[in-house]
Amino acid sequence: MTGNSLLQQLMDSFCCLPGVGPKTAQRMAFHILERDRDGGRRLSRLLVQAVDNIGHCQRCRTLSENDLCGLCTNEQRNDVQLCVVETPADVLAIEQATDYRGRYFVLGGRLSPLDGIGPREIGLDQLAGILAEGRVEELILATNPTVEGEATAQYISDMAADKDIQATRIAHGVPLGGELEYVDGGTLAHAFVGRRKVGI
């Protein structure tokens, strides 16, 4: 078994997937080989197809098979709102959960000067070009509420201010179903600072 190098290589290569350690990789390899060889072939084919064919949308930088993604070519979306997110997964999450009908811009990361990630690396020159077109009226900042995410949002809101565009930040606070007692301190502080008037 230990001399079975192809099996061992397959297990090792499953470990490149997020959240997959040696034990899970072993289970996956055995599952494919013993129960689902067709599924393995299909996964293999789609992996190489996806890696070869899926690039980035030239306008919004999300993942796309074509030069422009389905959201950028969609005539039904309004050009007035532009939502800035960190990753393509964020686009998917917003599309699934909200009724937002504007456009997106995907940074593909966040400002992190120490790691050599500056404005150019996250496509802010490209974003500046879109803002210069003059159609965007609201720039929604939906970067993650981490230190770098906040700094990135701040930087972009300054860009928007220079062009007299209204920037907004999505709300951060106690999640639905969360109990105050168990919410972390940072979130609770955020929720207090961001409190809004209710009633009349």
Question: Which residues here bind a copy of itself, judged by CB under 8 A?
Answer: 1-7, 9-10, 13-14, 16-19, 24, 26-34, 36-37, 39-51, 53-54, 62-65, 69-71, 87-89, 91-92, 95, 108
Please state the closest distance from residue 15 (CB atom) to a copy of itself, in A. Answer: 9
Please state the closest distance from residue 62 (CB atom) to a copy of itself, in A. Answer: 7
Nearer to a copy of itself, 16 or 171 (CB): 16
Query: Taking a C-beta distance cutoff of 8 angstroms, is the pair 80, 95 a contact?
Result: no
- Token digits of residue 117: 């990630």
Q: 22-35 and 37-53 helices cross at what angle (nearest 10)?
A: 120
- Residue 138 sits at φ, ψ, to 5 deg, of -130, 130
Nearer to a copy of itself, 79 or 95 (CB): 95
User: What residues are paired with 104 via a beta bridge?
Assistant: 83
Q: How far apart are CA 161 and CA 139, in angstroms?
A: 10
Please state the closest distance from residue 73 (CB atom) to a copy of itself, in A. Answer: 9
At residue 83, what is the residue type? C
**Residue 82, SS3 per DSSP:** strand
Nearer to a copy of itself, 42 or 163 (CB): 42
Nearer to a copy of itself, 34 or 125 (CB): 34
